[in-house]
Amino acid sequence: MNTLSRFLNALDSYKISDGSQFRLADHNPDDDGHLGLDKDMGKNLLRQVKGLLQDLQELLYANQTHSLLIILQGMDAAGKDGTIKHVMSGVNPQGVAVTSFKQPGPTDLLHGFLWRIHAAAPQAGRIVIFNRSQYEDVLVSRVHPDLLKNGHVPGALNTPEFWEGRYSDIRHLEHYLSRQGTVVLKFFLNISREEQRERLLARLDIPEKRWKFSPSDLHEREYWDDYATAYQDAIAQTARPHAPWIIVPANHKWYARLVVIGTIIRALHNLRQVTPQPSPDVMHQLDDYRTRLLQEKP
């Protein structure tokens, strides 16, 4: 068995399709798959499999029956932007859109928390990447429940029933999307607290990286354990066969990117799409069209 096959088989261990037994602490951010790969070999492998992704995206685009929704979540500096850049570059941008969900604006807050999410869902044939997502509404607002007061939702906020309602609404939206033909893949880029410290330090030490630093990153870092609990609960409550979570070991960026692209390739491959063929009666006409074009006066 070659490295690629062994790698693809290892992916199953990161996928959570049923959250009932999920514990974030069971997942090691340092894991590199024990495939004997190093950073350079990993980058080589990534380059190889990118061609596969391009082919599969073309089939998705041509068939216009399914779509792919990729959700990227993770602590600050977990590598969300880098993953998008390194995994998706090379894919035809006509078929891909990235939506970054920042803090909701005034109009967003006047609507339900899923309003801007549903609006950005992919149409048939397309790939959409959510850089942050509906999960922020059970993560950042769970860690900082005062933010809930910015919304216009009546009734008791921040009760167990309130959060259960949100998890339930998210589950149902994802179930609906999957019924419409959307493949939903949710990636948690799992870094350690120490790795975050090093990456934030690099943003301060390396002049080219300074624009990435935000003082709020240091502030949020103080809530590390609260975020870990919120992630643990959100993943446990929303992992489903039609919308699995993938817990990506992300201390090694090169390995995280391989896990993400490998998971995407496997999911698209499972659709078993082929180039669409014209129907028999159209097929029959193609010779006529060809003749007409050939006989056209120059």
Question: Is there binding between residue 247 and its own copies (CB under 8 A)?
Answer: no
Alpha helices in the chain (DSSP H): 3-10, 39-63, 80-88, 106-110, 115-119, 140-143, 160-179, 193-205, 215-221, 224-238, 253-269, 280-295
Nearer to its own copies, 82 or 112 (CB): 112
Residue from 41, 92, 103, 110 that binds its own copies (CB under 8 A)? 110
Residues 113-132 touching its own copies, rule: CB under 8 A, are 113-115, 118-119, 121, 123-125
Question: Is there binding between residue 154 and its own copies (CB under 8 A)?
Answer: yes
Question: Is there binding between residue 181 and its own copies (CB under 8 A)?
Answer: yes
Question: Is there binding between residue 24 and its own copies (CB under 8 A)?
Answer: no
Question: Is there binding between residue 182 and its own copies (CB under 8 A)?
Answer: yes
Q: How far apart are CA 68 and CA 86, in angstroms?
A: 18
Site string for its own copies, 45-74 (x = CB under 8 A): -------------------xxx--------
Stretch that binds its own copies, among 14-22, 153-161, 205-213, 225-233 (CB under 8 A): 153-161
Total number of residues shown for the chain: 298
Query: In DSSP terms, which residues pair with 73 in a beta bridge?
Result: 188
Question: Is there binding between residue 81 and its own copies (CB under 8 A)?
Answer: no
Q: Which long-range contacts (CB under 8 A, 24 or more apart) does 171-175 make?
A: 171/237, 171/238, 171/240, 171/243, 173/114, 173/117, 173/118, 173/134, 174/238, 174/240, 174/242, 174/243, 175/240, 175/242, 175/243
Q: Are 113 and 137 in contact (CB under 8 A)?
A: yes
Q: How far apart are CA 197 and CA 201, in angstroms?
A: 6
Residues 205-224 touching its own copies, rule: CB under 8 A, are none
Token couple for 199: 């990456």
Nearer to its own copies, 17 or 64 (CB): 64
Q: How far apart are CA 127 and CA 265, in angstroms?
A: 12
Nearer to its own copies, 2 or 279 (CB): 279
Residue 199 C-beta: closest distance to its own copies, Å? 37
| Of 164, 186, 162, 165, residue with least CA distance to 174 | 186
Stretch that binds its own copies, among 49-57, 129-137, 177-185, 254-262 (CB under 8 A): 177-185
Question: Is there binding between residue 152 and its own copies (CB under 8 A)?
Answer: yes
| Residue 143 main-chain phi, psi, to 5 deg | -70, -35
Residue 90 C-beta: closest distance to its own copies, Å? 24
Residues lying near its own copies in the complex (CB under 8 A) are found at 64-66, 107, 110-115, 118-119, 121, 123-125, 152-155, 165, 169, 172-173, 175-177, 179-182
